[in-house]
Amino acid sequence: MSQSIIRLEEIQKSYFMGSQAIPVLKGISLDIFRNEYVALMGPSGSGKSTLMNILGCLDSPTGGKYILNGKDVSKMADDDLATVRNTEIGFVFQQFNLLPRLSAAENVALPLIYAGVNKKERIERAMEALKKVGLAERSHHKSNELSGGQIQRVAIARALVNNPSLLLADEPTGNLDSKTSVEVMEIFSKIQQAGNTVVLVTHEEDIAAYAHRVVRLRDGLIESDTRRSKQTEAAGSVI
């Protein structure tokens, strides 16, 4: 019996420029377990976003196997993949991608429209998600009435509204100042403590320090995979 929420076996991804295949992921094998908190790091161009898009079922690998929650999603048809994406995964981007004409609550409720949830329940669930990120009192505000950190928290609430087991975030603090980044990271920690699995990309070491495991990519391959030991955590808390 495996507790893996994510199992990657020799994942490859090439982009095609005309007839030329450009290999970007060159054989990534990785298990991520339920309730882990993983930071994915590596130099620009090493393949982090490509891998995150595959993990988030936004893109398919050109080789290898991706087992998510026990299901092989690597060869799924687009429709089935969309269902997996909408029910099992929350995705937070660096660019917040909120619709400016909609309120915070309406933005958060968007995925529920696609899921066919009725209006009353949509509002209730959007408010619940906004509460989780500490923004219930801002539910009527539009993006231009919110700070960068608040906007990113709305985006996190939107990613959580379907109660996904897996939360993915690609450089979620990339557009935020350091104080606001801390605010946002504390929310990810809270979400992980509540039982979610969190995988996020960052190239800042102090952001990665929130995670319990750091996977580093280099040139399309895993360069290192380190778990923070209990001893290190204990030592860290004393200092």
What does the binding site for ligand ADP look like in residue numbers (CB under 6 A)? 15, 24, 42, 44-50
Identify the three-state secondary structure at position 163. Answer: coil
State which residue has the least CB distance to Mg ion.
49
Residue whose CB is less far from Mg ion, 92 or 133: 92
- Under the binding rule (CB under 5 A), the answer on residue 202 touching Mg ion is no
DSSP 8-state class, residue 56: T
Nearer to ligand ADP by C-beta: 21 or 235?
Answer: 21
49 near Mg ion (CB under 5 A): yes
Phi-psi sector, 14: left (phi>0), alpha (psi -120 to 50), beta: beta
Residue 24 vs 185, nearer CB to Mg ion = 24
Q: What's the 3-state SS for 113-142?
A: HHCCCCHHHHHHHHHHHHHHCCCHHHCCCE
CA distances 88 to 45, 109, 176, Å, are 27, 16, 27
Q: How many residues make up the chain in this entry?
A: 239
d(CA 228, CA 214): 8
Task: Please report how close the Cβ of residue 58 comes to Mg ion at its closest, in angstroms.
Answer: 13
Nearer to ligand ADP, 108 or 176 (CB): 176
Least spacing, CB of residue 171 vs Mg ion, in Å: 6
DSSP-derived 3-state class of residue 173: coil
C-alpha–C-alpha distance, residues 166 and 57, integer Å: 12
CB of residue 40 vs ligand ADP: minimum separation in angstroms?
9
- Using the contact rule CB under 5 A, the part of the chain among 41-49, 102-110, 134-142, 156-164 near Mg ion is 41-49
Rounded to an integer, what distance in angstroms lies between the CA atom of residue 113 and that of residue 103?
15
The span of 12-20, 47-55, 151-159, 208-216 binding Mg ion (CB under 5 A) equals 47-55
CB of 108 to ligand ADP, least distance (A): 26
Q: Is the dihedral of CA 74, 78, 83, 85 positive or negative?
A: positive
Residue identified by tokens 């619940």 is 128
The nearer residue to ligand ADP, 56 or 111, going by C-beta atoms, is 56
45 binds, among ligand ADP, Mg ion, none (CB under 5 to 8 A by kind): ligand ADP
Nearest-approach distance from CB 223 to ligand ADP, in angstroms: 12
Instruction: Specify the residue, 109 or 215, whose C-beta has the smaller distance to ligand ADP.
Output: 215
Q: What is the dihedral of CA 59, 195, 1, 28, to 10 degrees?
A: 30
Residue 197 near which of Mg ion, ligand ADP, none (CB within 5-8 Å, type-dependent): none
Block residue for tokens 């969190």:
198
**What are the residues binding Mg ion (CB under 5 A)?**
48-49
